[in-house]
Amino acid sequence: MIFFVVYMIGPFVFFPTSVLSLGAGLAFGVWPGVLYIIFGATGAAVTGYVTARLLGRSVLRLENFSWSEKLFSQMEKRGFIYIFVLRLIPIVSFDLLSYAGGIAKVRFNSFILATVLGMIPGTFAYSFLGASIASGNIFIFITAAALFLLLVGITYYFREPVKRWLGLAS
């Protein structure tokens, strides 16, 4: 329960969820870690989304960013795909995307489904890496680290094409 509560207050304190995700794999193992991360991160996403829906643009001042109005406009039209792709290829921080989804009034069901589906690859990579540290097996650790680095590399490689595709390129 403490893990979930800490994860869910993350949007208010901007705590790096990567630390919690690695910790989940380390403490609980790969598959329980994945499950706990998905529940915790989904709770954190809902916290940010609901806060933004209730308080609107007063939650975050995003007007200073050149991409913000374009992001909100596109999210209002194609919320599911925007949330899904930006969870999969994190160009925008997790908490910021949750707030943006709420401000843009993305349908709640679409927001949750896109969030969960989009975080699965990263969730597995973090949990596997954390669990591999706990295993003490160097082969498992190297495999997990390689998978993690591959995912980071894929994310980095696709950042600019995704920005262009989503209409967020400067």
**Which pLDDT score, from 0 to 100, does residue 3 have?**
87
pLDDT at 63: 64
pTM of the model: 0.90
Look at the chain and count its residues: 170
Q: What is the pLDDT of residues 66-109, one digit of tens each?
A: 777 777 888 888 999 999 999 999 888 888 899 889 989 999 99
Residue 44: the pLDDT is: 92
Cβ atoms 48, 11 nearer than 8 A: yes
Summarize pLDDT for 41-50 with one digit per residue, the tens: 999 999 999 9
